[in-house]
A = this chain, B = another copy of it.
Amino acid sequence: MRTEPGARPAGTTTRILDVAERLVQTRGHNGFSYADVATELGITRAALHYHYPGKAELGEALVARYADRFAAALAELDVEASGAPAALEGYAELYAEVLSRQRMCLCGMLAAEYMTLPPAMQRGVTAFFEHNAEWLRSVLERGRREGTLAFSGSAADSAAMVLGGLEGAMLITRMNGDVAGFRAAAARLLAGLSISADQIPA
């Protein structure tokens, strides 16, 4: 690590990651260049190569940091959420917060570009989704066991549905910035997993 524990004023490495992260989340990995990042930071491309030898390495660091943050958020939900339904709502809210900053999920973006990514990034993206699916599966199983959730089929299938549903709703609502529309679609998605009661025709 190049940033020593004592160095406070937001190290260059961190600022590079912050700018690059936003660019990937809005324009995609194939939609930004080293020049974009360097210009925004007021440094040259060459300086960027000092911190990250190539775009592939920068991309790997991006995925790793994003996955770590998400994992931490999931661990926090495990502790704070009062039950499975609340955990799912908190999970959906993580997505809504990203969207409200007019961004797409970093790994959702990279999923679209998957075929063009360097192998190390592909592995990172795959691991991100597997970890999310596994977390969702465990929450769903717990909810079913405790009687707070009800659904047909395997918990893994429903986990895939929730994961895909949120990523997809995000992908589409981001185009017009309709965060309220996202929240409504997410609520409907989770409603299909609740113990009926809400099956009230309008």
Q: Which A residues lie at the B interface, using CB under 8 A?
A: 26-28, 30-31, 104, 108-109, 111-116, 122, 125-126, 129, 144, 150-154, 157-158, 160-161, 163-176, 181, 184-189, 191-193, 195-196, 198-202
Q: How far is the CA of A32 from the CA of B191 in the complex (A)?
A: 40
List, in ascending order, chain B residues with CB within 8 A of A158's CB: 185, 188
- Given contacts A126-B175, A161-B165, A167-B168, list 17 more A-B pairs with CB under 8 A: A26-B115, A28-B116, A30-B30, A108-B171, A111-B172, A114-B174, A122-B175, A129-B172, A158-B185, A160-B173, A160-B181, A160-B185, A164-B172, A167-B171, A167-B172, A168-B168, A168-B171
Q: How far is the CA of A163 from the CA of B167 in the complex (A)?
A: 11
Q: Nearest chain-B residue to A32 (Cβ)? A: B116
Q: From known contacts A31-B115, A111-B172, A176-B126, infer whether A165 and B189 are also in contact, taking CB-CB under 8 Å.
A: yes
CB pair B196 A193 closer than 8 Å: no
List, in ascending order, chain B residues with CB within 8 A of A166's CB: 168
